[in-house]
Amino acid sequence: MVATKPLNNTPLVRESTTLQALTAAALLLPGLAAQQPVYAADGDEFSFQYGRYEEGKRDLGGIKSTLQPIEVDSLQSSGRVSLADRVKFAFNFIQDTWSGATPITTAPSSRGGNRPYTQFNTVAGASPLLKDIDGGAIYFDQNRRPLNSFLDGDLGERVSLGVDDRVVHTMSVASPETRKEGNFKLSHEWDEMAIDVGGGISVESDYESRFGNLGARFDFNQKLTTLAIGGSYANSENFSRLSPHFTKSYINSSAFANQIRTLNDGTGDSVILGDREDWSGNINLTQVVNKSALFKLGTGFTHSTGYLENPYKAVTAFFIADVNAIAEGSVTDPDSGFPVTIGDFSSTIPYVGVARAFLEQRPNNRNQFNLTTGWVQHIAPLDAALHFDYRFNHDDWGINAHTFEGDWVQPVGSGWTITPRVRYYSQSQADFYYQYLIADMGSTVSTGAIDPGDNAKLPTQTFSSDHRLSGFGALSGGVMIGKQFARGLRFDAGFEYYTHRGSLRMDGVGEGDYADFDYWVANGSMTVNLSTLGRTLAESGHAHHALHHGAPLPAGIFCNGHMLEKADDFMMGYIYMYGRQDGAILQGSRPVNDATIIANGCEGGSCRTVPTFMNMYMHMLDIMYAPTDWFNLMLMPQFMDMDMNLRQLSGVVPDTKTYDHLHGGHTTGGIGDTLMYGMFKLFDDGQHHVNVGMGFSAPTADVDIKLNRMHGVDGGFIHYGMQLGSGTWDFKPTLTYSGRYDDWSWGAQINGTTRMQNHNQSGFAFGDMVQSSAWGGYNLLKWLSGSVRGVYTTQGAIRGRFNPIPGDCIAADQQTKLSCADTNPQGGTMDHPQNYGGRFWDVGLGLNAMIPDGAFVGHHMSVEWLQPVMDDVNGYQLERSGSLTATWSYMF
């Protein structure tokens, strides 16, 4: 699950709006407007941002972990439009996809929480180890500090090598997951006040949050003083999976026994249910201090209640006993493998302990206060602005935090702005933060199995080892570069490096350096100011021109198919596509039974699984520019995310051990391939249009996404269809004809994709594709038309296959572990190249709107549902259910 900070900074209506609005009055005065550029901060706009977060590797005390650190791809699209003179509506769509390794618990390094494993006689990586194998022991001194020790063969007893205070995280990997959030804000402005109401929802596979907020703003003192008050409420449900592959078998969750439900989906998984509520309120004051300075001050309060835990964090507890009082046979020596007995120890070892992991337990309430203050100062000699902010946080978990940030905003001419920034953060640790716990073993200790009785032996019932609750400091710095173009177009790009250190805490006394880490985050964004452009269009008569530009084309037509008509025209578009497959498994055009799939679906073996569904979501930007009236350039970056699920084929017997992977969903997401087009106008007499496009797809997407290593078995590549792009340079020509007469329109397009490389970096290439379609449309209203389209697509099977990945695998008996030359999955129909491609027939129903006047002049929106009519698949594939395409574009 990903973080989302409450959206207190969400600039649905930029914070600057107030001041921009009040100063706009000044700009309207004669003499000022000519000198000051009208920066339409309060105008209607559309913006899009991509962000990338990558963490550095953690120090695991010398153990090499092959687990990739956390990485996150984020995209956000936002819009703000005026519904009426003083009514604005703003919306945001945010999507994050993340994966990688993160600490799951913490323990003394002598415990070996990251177990190195070897492949082909070299150490290949480290696996997380949460419980002792067969009750293996750890030793402690009189002060209950962990000891390093060795088994002295001559003396026949275990001898201490001294205290080892080092601590390490145990790392565990998270599969790719995606969070999607939609939120809105509706606001009404009066001369000296404004109110807004907003809300939204955030959805992940294991967490869902709904929220609403209210705010009001009052201007006083000739608008020199602005007071804003706001309140919000969020209700969130947690339903994290406790998989027998991982959490359920190794982590004691008995404290949450009445919140755990077993799923009926045949996986054997459980979910931990937990609801939380967050109420918050704040009040913020902004004051114009003089002609070149602003001051701000604010305070806020948040009350949270319910399940406030992180369900993926565990605390290690050591149950220890006097070595002379342990129950015979209850503890196994980690080196000899035999049960330890009284008399096995030298006097240097007073205590022996066994490790158990517990899901973290936090208090069910939290109250947080914060105080923020800031100053914005214009620096006249450089025409720069210095922004300084300080924030103090205090909560009843014992955490006090200070944040300082300074930004220097330097305009450098020609619309460029450079903003270096530095930030320092320091926090004290929570009252219930522990590196690990030590408890008395009591008369007996359970071996292997999780004993619900263990929980009551713990010295506390609130505990967490989450390093976010430890004492630390963080220093970060970065730069933001912005460029404002004419016609309301703006680009921004930023980079920031962040370092988390225990020693950077304000008083210098923080968590040990084992918990240190760093990350970088980069982002790029584009903002189109629609109000500026709308005025331009209206003034130039361009809007009328745009309305009659070409014939309306169905949304699903590749690359929109139309061209800009005049040299120096720009178009900015956004395309959303959703495609789903579910239903029967087809062989050719016929559904087949499981027995046939088991026997024939997987080349070189028998099938064990098939997909039950697969969803594909794509967000694409479409940036188009006309250098001349007969040639257009297009750039189309794509962002993909996909999810799917599997089922076990009936007749396949799963093994009794937990190695077998016959179920479970997967998610992937991130940057897709990038399309680049040159479009040539071949013929245009106003009624008939013909154009040809020469396109290339650059392999900017990942095609080497792998499944996680589980139970000491390597996952290999996730199947072909879940990779984010083709991985090859592709040539994509199109030929489009469109015509119109009166209220009727029609057209046809043929487009193709041919791979210019035999295989990508992972060893395969998708099949070539040809798609042809023909459509007819009718103007239902002056601005709205409907269309019907027929589509035929043919695509070849995959050429090549995934490069083999040597590693640990399971023998055909599903019991024995082996070293394999190739660990790529072979048990599902989707793992085989011949089960891709085919011939597909679809019918599309679409609507097309071009707004001729009013607030939305110049906008063009279209939507099309593509309904499959017939599939004739290569090999064995899941049936298609349909796809939706929605587009928005704006010409200027």
Partner 1 sequence: MINRNLLFLPWLLSAAAIGGCAEVQPWERGILAKPQMALELYPLQTELRSHIYGSREAASGGGASGGGGCGCY
Buried b (16+ CB within 10 A) or exposed e, 729-752: ebebebbbbbbbeeeebbbbbbbb
Shortest separation between residue 208's beta carbon and partner 1, angstroms: 9
Question: Which CB sits closer to partner 1, 384 or 547?
Answer: 384
Within residues 58-77, the interface with partner 1 by CB under 8 A covers: 70, 72, 74, 76
525 sits near partner 1 (criterion: CB under 8 A): yes
Q: Which stretch binds partner 1 (CB under 8 A): 114-122, 389-397, 436-444, 662-670?
A: 389-397
Q: Which of residues 759-778 bind partner 1 (CB under 8 A)?
A: none
236 binds partner 1 (CB under 8 A): yes
**Which two three-digit tokens encode residue 108?**
């003394």
Query: Is residue 394 within the footprint of partner 1 (CB under 8 A)?
Result: yes
Question: Is 632 a residue that touches partner 1 (CB under 8 A)?
Answer: no
Residue 3 in contact with partner 1, rule: CB under 8 A: yes
Contact in structure between 75 and 48 (CB atoms under 8 Å): yes
Residue 183 is a binding residue for partner 1 (CB under 8 A)? yes
Question: Would you call 589 helix, strand, or coil by DSSP?
Answer: coil
Does 41 contact partner 1 by CB under 8 A? yes
Q: Do the Cβ atoms of 41 and 22 come closer than 8 Å?
A: no
Residue with tokens 């294991």: 206
**What letter represents residue 791's amino acid?**
V
Is 215 a binding residue for partner 1 by CB under 8 A? The answer is: yes
Task: Output 9 or 121, the one with its CB closest to partner 1.
Answer: 9
435 near partner 1, rule: CB under 8 A: no
* Site membership for partner 1, residue 399 (CB under 8 A): yes
**One of 419, 532, 708, 889 touching partner 1 (CB under 8 A):** 419
**Binding of partner 1 by 233 (CB under 8 A):** yes
Q: Give CA–CA dist 851/858, Å, rounded.
A: 6
Give the x/- contact pattern for partner 1 in 248-287, rule: CB under 8 A.
Answer: ------------------------------xxxxx--xxx
From the list 43, 44, 47, 701, which residue makes contact with partner 1 (rule: CB under 8 A)? 47
Size of the site for partner 1 (CB under 8 A): 143
Question: Can you tell me the distance from the alpha carbon of 210 to that of 196, in angstroms, rounded to the nearest whole number?
Answer: 18
- First-last CA distance in the chain: 40
Nearest to 419 by CA among 495, 526, 520, 497: 495
Of the candidate spans 122-130, 305-313, 732-740, 837-845, the one that interacts with partner 1 by CB under 8 A turns out to be 305-313
By CB under 8 A, residue 53 contacts partner 1: yes
Task: Give the Cα separation of 797 and 724 in Å (integer).
Answer: 17
Q: Does 1 bind partner 1 (CB under 8 A)?
A: yes
Span near partner 1 by CB under 8 A; candidates 19-27, 529-537, 832-840, 848-856: 19-27
Establish if 9 lies at the interface with partner 1 (CB under 8 A). yes
Task: Please name which of 403, 456, 455, 465 lies closest in space to residue 430, comparing C-alpha atoms.
Answer: 465
Q: Which is nearer to partner 1, 129 or 173 (CB)?
A: 173
**532 with 43: CB under 8 angstroms?**
yes
Interface map 454-493 toward partner 1 (x if CB under 8 A): --------------xx----x-----x-x-x-------x-
Indicate whether 393 belongs to the interface with partner 1 (CB under 8 A).
yes
Pairing of the two strands 351-359 and 138-140 = antiparallel
The only residue of 124, 174, 273, 616 in contact with partner 1, by rule CB under 8 A = 174
Q: Which of 568, 541, 561 is nearest to 625 (CA)?
A: 568
Report, in Å, the least distance between residue 88 CB and partner 1.
15
Q: Looking at beta carbons only, is 491 or 746 nearer to partner 1?
A: 491
Q: Is 441 in the site for partner 1 (CB under 8 A)?
A: no
Task: Select the residue interacting with partner 1 from 10, 532, 760, 885 (CB under 8 A).
Answer: 10
Rounded Cα distance between 105 and 312, Å, is 9
Q: Is 574 in the site for partner 1 (CB under 8 A)?
A: no
Of 790-849, binders to partner 1 (CB under 8 A) are none
Q: Which amino acid is at 824?
A: N
* Residues 583-622 close enough to bind partner 1 by CB under 8 A: none
- State which residue, 147 or 409, has the beta carbon closest to partner 1: 409
Shortest spacing between CB 91 and partner 1, in angstroms: 14
The minimum distance between CB 459 and partner 1, in angstroms, equals: 23
Among the listed ranges 32-40, 692-700, 747-755, 874-882, the one in contact with partner 1 (CB under 8 A) is: 32-40
Q: Does 711 bind partner 1 (CB under 8 A)?
A: no
The values of phi and psi at residue 21, to 5°, are -65, -45
Interaction of residue 378 with partner 1, rule CB under 8 A: yes
Q: Is 718 in the site for partner 1 (CB under 8 A)?
A: no
| Residue recorded with tokens 């320092």 | 424
> Given the complex with partner 1, which of 20 and 600 has the nearer CB atom?
20
Q: 3-state class of 652 per DSSP?
A: coil
Stretch that binds partner 1, among 198-206, 592-600, 657-665, 785-793 (CB under 8 A): 198-206
Q: How many CB atoms lie under 10 A from the CB of residue 698?
A: 15
Q: Residue 238: CB partners within 8 Å, gap ≥ 6? A: 1, 206, 207, 272, 273, 274, 275, 276, 307, 311
Binding of partner 1 by 231 (CB under 8 A):
yes
Cβ-Cβ contacts under 8 Å for 831 (sequence gap 6 or more):
602, 719, 720, 824, 825
CB 239 within 8 A of CB 273: yes
Among 118, 262, 292, 461, binds partner 1 (CB under 8 A): 292
Q: What is the 3-state secondary structure (H, E, C) of 324-366?
A: CCCCCCCCECCCCCCECCCCCECCCCCEEEEEEEEECECCCEE
Instruction: Report the distance separating Cα 270 and Cα 546, nearest Å.
Output: 56
Out of 125, 198, 699, 837, the only residue in the binding site for partner 1 (CB under 8 A) is: 198
Q: State the minimum distance, in angstroms, from the CB of residue 154 to partner 1.
A: 49
Distance CA 700, CA 729 (A): 9
Q: Does 501 bind partner 1 (CB under 8 A)?
A: no
The residue from 93, 319, 358, 425 that contacts partner 1 (CB under 8 A) is 425
What's the min distance (Å) between Cβ of 273 and partner 1?
Answer: 14
Looking at residues 76 to 135 of the shown chain, list those that interact with partner 1 (rule: CB under 8 A).
76, 78, 96, 98, 100, 102
Assign 235 to helix, strand or coil: strand
Stretch that binds partner 1, among 436-444, 496-504, 749-757, 821-829 (CB under 8 A): 496-504
Q: How far is the CB of 516 from partner 1 (least distance, A)?
A: 12
DSSP assigned state of 707: P
Q: How far is the CB of 514 from partner 1 (least distance, A)?
A: 17
**DSSP annotation string for 472-508:** EEEEEEEEEEEEEPGGGEEEEEEEEEEEEEGGGSTTS
Using an 8 Å Cβ cutoff, are 890 and 573 in contact? yes
202 is an interface residue for partner 1 by CB under 8 A: yes
Cα separation values, 287 from 26, 297, 375, 553, 711, Å: 17, 9, 10, 52, 60
Nearer to partner 1, 39 or 783 (CB): 39
Contact 230, 214 (CB under 8 A): yes
Using DSSP bridges, classify how beta strands 45-55 and 138-140 pair: parallel, antiparallel or unpaired.
Answer: unpaired
295 binds partner 1 (CB under 8 A): yes
CA distance 411 to 23: 19
Of 148, 400, 803, 826, which lies in the binding site for partner 1, with binding defined by CB under 8 A?
400
| Closer of 288 and 671 to partner 1 (Cβ) | 288
